[in-house]
């Protein structure tokens, strides 16, 4: 009961009651013991006095063997109710007289040994000698009933039981109140704990009722609650902040998504518009090209035909003018082709087919093509190849067009001079490059005009166009072509002394060089 | 005499080119649209056809496809002769079944070279083209 189930109140009550009852019981038992001992001591002391008196009184009767007197002496014992029997014995030990009060206790027939006394179960006995002048003349034997003692003990026991019962009730009454001193704070603490754990409310505090160990416990518990409450609040704050941040961020993201979708839609529209515009531009260019070529075909064709037919008839007076018409037509064709090239380059639609180009074949081809042009101005072309390489990576059509452009420029702007075409090997950024130099002894270029050189439609001045022809697109196109192939064109010149234009090209295919790759072009 | 068929809708170009070709000894038949071009080819069996691409009635690409689909005309070499000179136009003409492609303005020497190449007996170009026709 004290260690198992049951409330602390019950346990405290049981402890207190048990303690009280045990104390009372111990007190009663102690008292009973001392009462018993005292009763016995006083009984034996009283009996010894009585025996002495009776012995003294019996001296004469025994001396004279007077039985009657002896009986009378014994009869005095009637005054003492505790004495159950008195017996007188002679010197020989034989019973002379006896007094029997009541009951079953009688004198033994022969004198018991003396001096002797002791307690039997229900009586006290005592034997004393009767002496006269130091001589034993007989003995006296008293028997005393213990009934009174037992009666007293019984009464005592009843009182003890009553006292125990009373003290039990009293202890119960007191302990029920007193246990609250201990149990109340504990129960209150327990209740607080229940409240906290049931509601998760860490703001509750346990009440402190005393400065004892439970008080300390309550203090500690409250301290713990305070820390938990602080942590709980911190957690809640953190959680709230996080939640707020998540909400905020979600809103931002949603706005961002909306904005991005809008941007994407706008980009899509812009892209579609740009593609549409590009398609329209391509279609326009294709259409323009077609529509210009058809009448040009007639212009050039008829002018050539008239020369042929005049030859058949032996008439040559119009030949020169007809050739001018044809030349103008062909010039217009060049302009058309150049404009198409430039617009394709600027639209990023120019494709490049990089493949090994044979260097010697290229030199022969361009020199052959440029030869008539050179002769027209009284120039000679000198070609020199100073590389052992057989080929280089390039777009053969674009490279030939670029190189031819440089050569025909040199022929155009030089009179009665020389034009050198030299190919040699150089090195750039640790890689082998080829340098195609076209050097002339022509009019040269003033430094002021140098920077306009590679811009579309920018011949050095308009008088140049009138005198030398050309569209002003050739160098711009050649430069862009060479850049598409991973190379470039450079030049140096001195006005009046001549110019040197150089095409620089990588001598070996570039593994990862993006410049050497053709840009994505249109597919018809 | 070698017989050429020139299918061309532009009167000036038709006149000019036919006169120049005749001067060089070719017999030149003329057609002004694709439909008549195909009919004339079937009827006259020319040695080479010079086919403009932008033609009324039936355009040059479709006319070439019809020539190729017809057993009678499928072996006649066709040279696309067109002012369509943008990248891809040559491929487009070859895909329709043309044997060669040349742009306007015509450079006569270049065109004559192409005609001669196709007229050369048992040229590799013919073999390839016949193989291509069966594929169609």
Q: Which two tokens stand for residue A19?
A: 């303690």
Give the pLDDT band (50/70/90) at residue A468.
Answer: low
Q: Of the candidates B135, B62, B53, B30, which has an alpha carbon nearest to the alpha carbon of residue B102?
A: B53
Q: Is A424 left (phi over 0), alpha (psi -120 to 50) or beta?
A: beta
Cα angle vertex A235, ends A231, A240, to 5°?
Answer: 150
Q: Residues A342-371: pLDDT tens digits?
A: 887 877 777 788 888 888 888 888 888 888
Residue A277 has pLDDT above 70, yes or no: yes
Query: By the 8 A CB rule, do A58 and A140 touch?
Result: yes
Q: Residues A13-57: pLDDT tens digits?
A: 888 888 888 888 898 889 888 988 888 888 888 888 888 888 888
Residues A513-522: what's their mean pLDDT?
A: 42
Residue A240 has pLDDT above 90, yes or no: yes
Strand-pair category, A116-119 with A418-428: unpaired
Quote ipTM for the complex.
0.84
Q: What rounded mean pLDDT belongs to chain A?
A: 84
Task: Check CB contact under 8 Å for B91 and A524.
Answer: yes
CA distance B90 to chain A (A): 10
List CB contacts of B57: < 8 A, sequence separation 6 or more.
B33, B34, B35, B36
C-alpha distances (whole Å) from A158 to each of A17, A38, A279, A343, B100 are: 20, 19, 130, 136, 148
Residue A273 has pLDDT above 60, yes or no: yes
Residues A394-419: what's their mean pLDDT?
A: 88
- Distance (Å, whole) CA A43 – CA A180: 51
Point out the residues of chain B with pLDDT beneath 70: 121-136
pLDDT value at position A467?
57
List CB contacts of B82: < 8 A, sequence separation 6 or more.
B52, B53, B54, B60, B89, B93, B101, B102, B103, B104
Q: What rounded mean pLDDT belongs to chain B?
A: 84
pLDDT value at position A470?
64
C-alpha distances (whole Å) from B100 to each of A294, B22, B46, B89, B132 are: 19, 21, 16, 12, 14
Task: Check CB contact under 8 Å for A309 and B91.
Answer: no
CA distance A293 to chain B (A): 6
Residue A98 has pLDDT above 90, yes or no: no
Q: Which two tokens stand for residue A189?
A: 């603490």
Query: By the 8 A CB rule, do B37 and B66 touch?
Result: no
Adjacent-strand bridge partners of A493 = A499
pLDDT value at position A466?
53
Residues in chain B with CB shorter than 8 Å from the CB of A297 are 10, 13, 16, 83, 104-106
Task: Check CB contact under 8 Å for A298 and B13.
Answer: yes
Q: Is A171 exposed, middle or buried (0-12, 13-18, 19+ CB in 10 A)?
A: buried
Nearest chain A Cα to B106, which residue? A297
List CB contacts of A212: < 8 A, sequence separation 6 or more.
none
List CB contacts of A5: < 8 A, sequence separation 6 or more.
none
Lowest mean pLDDT among A122-131, A346-355, A448-457, B26-35: A448-457
Reduced to 3 states (helix: H, G, I; strand: E, B; else coil), residue A348 is: coil
Alpha helices per DSSP H over A347-437: 359-376, 396-412
Q: Residues A75-89: pLDDT tens digits?
A: 888 888 888 888 888
């Amino acid at each position: 009961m004290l260690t198992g189930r049951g409330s602390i109140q019950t346990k405290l009550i049981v402890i207190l009651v048990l303690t009280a009852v045990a104390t009372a019981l111990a007190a009663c038992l102690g008292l009973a013991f001392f009462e018993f001992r005292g009763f016995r001591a006083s009984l034996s002391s009283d009996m010894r006095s009585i025996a002495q008196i009776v012995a003294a009184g019996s001296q004469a009767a025994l001396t004279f063997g007077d039985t009657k007197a002896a009986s009378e002496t014994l009869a005095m014992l009637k005054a003492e109710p505790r004495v159950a029997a008195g017996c007188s014995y002679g010197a020989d030990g034989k019973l002379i007289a006896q007094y029997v009060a009541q009951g079953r206790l009688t004198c033994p027939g022969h004198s018991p040994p003396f001096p002797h006394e002791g307690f039997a179960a229900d009586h006290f006995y005592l034997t004393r000698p009767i002496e006269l002048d130091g001589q034993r003349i007989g003995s006296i034997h008293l028997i005393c009933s213990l009934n009174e003692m037992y009666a007293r003990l019984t009464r005592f026991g009843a009182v003890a039981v009553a006292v125990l019962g009373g003290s039990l009730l009293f202890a119960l009454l007191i302990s029920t109140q007193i246990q609250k001193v201990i149990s109340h704070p504990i129960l209150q603490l327990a209740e607080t704990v229940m409240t906290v754990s049931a509601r998760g409310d860490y703001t509750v505090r346990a009440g402190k009722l005393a400065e004892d160990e439970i008080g300390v416990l309550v203090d500690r518990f409250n301290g713990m609650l305070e820390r938990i409450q602080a942590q709980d609040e911190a957690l809640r704050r953190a959680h709230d902040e996080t939640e707020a941040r998540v909400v905020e961020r979600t809103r931002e993201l949603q706005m961002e998504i909306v904005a991005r979708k809008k941007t994407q839609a706008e980009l899509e529209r812009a892209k579609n518009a740009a593609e549409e515009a590009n398609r329209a531009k391509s279609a326009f260019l294709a259409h323009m090209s077609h529509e210009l070529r058809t009448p040009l075909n007639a212009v050039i064709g008829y002018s050539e035909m008239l020369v042929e037919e005049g030859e058949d008839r032996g008439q040559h007076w119009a030949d020169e003018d007809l050739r001018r018409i044809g030349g103008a037509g062909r010039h217009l064709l060049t302009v058309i082709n150049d404009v198409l090239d430039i617009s394709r380059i600027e639209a990023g639609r120019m494709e490049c087919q990089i493949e090994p180009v044979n260097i010697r074949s290229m030199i022969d081809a361009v020199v052959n093509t440029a030869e008539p042009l050179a002769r027209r101005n009284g120039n000679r072309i000198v070609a020199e190849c100073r590389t052992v390489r057989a080929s280089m990576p390039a777009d053969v059509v674009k490279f030939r067009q670029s190189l031819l452009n440089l050569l025909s420029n040199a022929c155009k702007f030089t009179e009665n001079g020389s034009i050198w075409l030299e190919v040699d090997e150089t090195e750039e950024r640790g890689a082998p490059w080829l340098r195609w130099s076209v050097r002339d002894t022509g009019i040269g270029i003033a430094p002021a005009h140098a920077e306009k050189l590679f811009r579309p439609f920018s011949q050095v001045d308009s008088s140049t166009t009138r005198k030398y022809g050309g569209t002003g697109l050739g160098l711009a196109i050649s430069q862009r072509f060479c850049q598409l192939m991973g190379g470039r064109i450079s030049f140096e010149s001195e006005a009046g002394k001549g110019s040197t234009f150089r095409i620089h090209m990588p001598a070996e295919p570039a593994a990862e060089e993006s410049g050497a790759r053709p840009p994505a072009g249109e597919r018809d | 005499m070698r017989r050429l068929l020139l299918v061309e809708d532009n009167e000036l170009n038709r006149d000019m080119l036919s006169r120049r070709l005749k001067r060089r000894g070719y017999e030149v038949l003329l057609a002004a649209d694709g439909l008549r071009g195909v009919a004339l080819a079937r009827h006259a069996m020319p040695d080479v056809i010079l086919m403009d691409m932008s033609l009324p009635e039936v355009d040059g690409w479709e006319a070439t496809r019809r020539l190729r689909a017809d057993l009678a005309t499928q072996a006649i070499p066709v040279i696309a002769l067109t002012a369509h000179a943008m990248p891809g136009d040559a491929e487009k003409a070859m895909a329709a079944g043309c044997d060669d492609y040349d742009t306007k303005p015509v450079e006569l020497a270049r065109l004559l070279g192409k005609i001669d190449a196709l007229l050369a007996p048992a040229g590799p170009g013919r073999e390839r083209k016949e193989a291509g026709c069966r594929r169609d």
